[in-house]
Structures are given as C-alpha cells and as structure tokens.
C-alpha cells in the first residue's frame, strides 16, 4: 500500500493546553484549523484512511515546539471523529503529556497511534525524507496535474499564515513546490483536495 504524509507547520498554535474549547480560533492560536485538517486527512464517509500519517508541528507560546504525530495504521476506530471539539480534546491530551517531556527527539504515545514530542519542523522533514518524496503545497508551485507521484508522498502545508521565509529556504532543495490552483485555500480544504486527487490517480 502506498503512503501519504501531511506535515502542517502551525506558527501560532498554543503549545500548552490552556486555551478555551468554546473559543478555539480566539484562544488556541488556531488549533481549530488543525482539527479540521486532521479530519480532511483521515476521514471518509463511514471510513478511515489507514495509509495516512499527519505531523502537526505547533510553534506558538509558551513552550514551542510541540509535535503531534497521528499514525493511521495504529489509531483505533472512533478515536478521530469529524467534529472539531472531539479532535481538539485529543490535541489537549497530547499537549498535557507534552508539558512534562524534556528529550529533544523521543516520542511519547498518548493513545494508540498518537505521539507527542519536542521534534522540530526540520526534524520532521528529515525523518520524512528517508522514505518519501516531499512536496510543498504553494499557490505558485507546479500544477498538481503535472506531477508524477511516486508511491510514498509527503506534503508540507502552512497554516493561515503560511510558512516563514526560513522554512521556505530550508525546504528549497528538499521539496518540489506543488500548486492546486492560483487561489489561496484553507489548509483543510487543500488536504481534502489532495487526498481525493490522489485517490483518483490510484496512488
């Protein structure tokens, strides 16, 4: 089975679970966006994509970075649901464990298939490059219809602020820029589009 990886760099997402579930957009540094992106990455109607991995890389205050990995092959049924709040609770659970960890690279499993760590964006990219072809989703990239995808593909996406210049420089020779169109779309909508496009290509 081929494999799909989505790596989301969240510039402002809180790295401590001190935000208000009733106002995620206003208090969490846009963790609501990450919840919707997880849904787009994993969920089908009455189904689940086991061949997907998502890395959420949170870089907001107070103790960045915190990285949460969701591993489709290991996640138990009913863990991840379509609504934002139940997913936000999973992120809170991960961040609570994340508060206490000190090691720079060890991952701690908080539920089957869900891991929290202090891994940096660069760490995630290096690990991903070992066995996947890396793409950076960007309006000005090569059109997705022109790309010949291999079996194991990984996509880097920014949040509502996009990637920082230093991140773009780091990716320059590591990831091909791919575009799904000239408009700028919400991260979760991009992931939905890419997933369905790859399904259509049978990748």
17 counts as binding its own copies under rule CB under 8 A: no
**What is the spatial distance between Cα 151 and Cα 133, in angstroms, rounded to a whole number?**
9
For 92, the token pair is 């809170």
Which residue, 45 or 173, is less far from its own copies as judged by CB?
45
Return the residue matching tokens 């934002």. 84
Which residue, 33 or 114, is less far from its own copies as judged by CB?
33
Residues 6+ apart with CB under 8 A from 201: 149
Among 7, 113, 196, 203, binds its own copies (CB under 8 A): 196
Among 3, 12, 43, 110, binds its own copies (CB under 8 A): 43
**What is the spatial distance between Cα 203 and Cα 81, in angstroms, rounded to a whole number?**
24
Counting residues that bind its own copies (by CB under 8 A) gives: 38
**Per-position DSSP letters for 67-133, written without gaps between them:** EEEEETTTPPTTSS-SSHHHHHHHHHHHHHHHTT---SS--EEEETTEEEE---HHHHHHHHHTTSE
Judge whether 58 and 14 are in contact, CB under 8 Å. yes
114-117 and 66-71 strand pairing: antiparallel
140 counts as binding its own copies under rule CB under 8 A: no
147 counts as binding its own copies under rule CB under 8 A: no
CB of 135 to its own copies, least distance (A): 17
167 counts as binding its own copies under rule CB under 8 A: no
Which residue, 116 or 158, is less far from its own copies as judged by CB?
158
33 counts as binding its own copies under rule CB under 8 A: yes
Among 16, 82, 110, 122, binds its own copies (CB under 8 A): 82
List contacts with its own copies (CB under 8 A).
Answer: 21-25, 32-33, 36, 39-40, 43-47, 81-86, 160, 180-189, 192-193, 195-196, 199-200
């Amino acid at each position: 089975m081929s494999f799909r990886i989505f790596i989301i760099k969240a510039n402002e997402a809180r790295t401590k679970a001190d935000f208000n579930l009733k106002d995620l957009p206003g208090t969490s540094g846009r963790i609501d966006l990450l919840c919707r992106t997880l849904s787009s990455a994993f969920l089908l109607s009455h189904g689940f994509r086991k061949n997907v991995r998502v890395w959420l890389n949170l870089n907001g205050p107070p103790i960045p970075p915190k990285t949460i990995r969701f591993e489709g092959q290991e996640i138990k049924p009913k863990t991840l649901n379509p609504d934002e709040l139940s997913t936000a609770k999973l992120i809170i659970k991960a961040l609570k464990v994340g508060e206490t960890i000190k090691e720079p690279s060890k991952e701690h499993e908080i539920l089957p298939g869900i891991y929290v760590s202090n891994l940096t964006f660069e760490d995630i990219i290096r690990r991903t490059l070992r066995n996947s072809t890396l793409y950076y989703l960007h309006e000005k990239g090569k059109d997705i219809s022109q790309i010949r995808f291999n079996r194991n593909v990984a996509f880097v996406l920014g949040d509502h602020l996009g990637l920082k210049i230093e991140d773009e420089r780091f990716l320059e020779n590591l990831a091909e820029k791919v575009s799904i169109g000239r408009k700028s779309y919400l991260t979760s909508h991009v992931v939905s589009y890419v997933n369905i496009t790859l399904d259509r290509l049978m990748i």
